[in-house]
Amino acid sequence: MTSGASTTASGTASEPSVLLTVLVDFGVPIGLYYGLTAAGVDDVLALTAGAAVPAAATLVRFVRTRRVDVLGVFVTVMLVLSIVVSLTSGSARLLLVRDGWLTGVAGLGFLVSLRGRRPLAFGFSRRLLERRSRGGRDWDELWDVEPRFRRIWRVTTMIWGIGLIVDSGVRALMAYTLPVHVVPALNGVQYGVFTLLMLVIVNIYHARAGLWALLSPDAVPEQREPREHDHR
């Protein structure tokens, strides 16, 4: 009873934190950029001010939790590098293309993880989907004994990796071809549209691949694939 209550409380407490993170990392920089340019500030300086917000937020989160957020550190390093290069060259477009670099590297990360023990989509989705299929089968057991389960998460990881790389290309194209003043708003909108589109694609794939049936408590285990140690 205590465990269940603490889990629920923890899940509830984490939701505002996620919303606040999205607001600080995406909403505030866009609003700050348009507010500053409306006040007559140069594009490069306005974009630099907006880019500094997520970096500062990462530092604040580290001070509060004393835990290193690898993704946050990566984003901060990218932000600092783009700011330095942009201020040196005076190019606002180098700051605008930053989001494309971030999603591109993230996409490569997903694809590279296919060579690891477990692909990234498995870890990112587990926390949400385990709650959705509460009472169902254990994910670690499923990974060990169900070939179809492993295949589903490898394909899902590939879908996200390719999608993020395509997203990166679209952002780079916008950054270098559209008027500077419209790109920050379009970048923000693209995050929402891209996420929604990817979730629809992934959920359709999961339904057709039989993920929900595998997660059901009544699922019948597949015949385990023989491995090398089984023949020894």
| Local confidence pLDDT in tens for the 232 residues of the chain | 444 444 444 444 444 455 666 666 677 888 888 998 999 888 888 888 877 777 777 777 777 777 766 556 666 676 677 677 666 767 788 888 888 888 998 899 999 999 989 999 998 888 777 766 555 678 888 899 999 999 999 999 999 999 999 999 999 999 999 999 999 999 989 988 999 999 999 999 999 999 988 887 655 555 554 444 444 4
Percent of the chain with pLDDT over 90: 34
119, 157 contact by CB (below 8 A): yes
In tens, the pLDDT along 81-115 reads 767 766 676 778 888 888 888 899 889 999 999 99
48, 36 contact by CB (below 8 A): no
Global confidence as pTM = 0.75
Return the closest-CA partner of residue 51 out of 29, 75, 21: 29
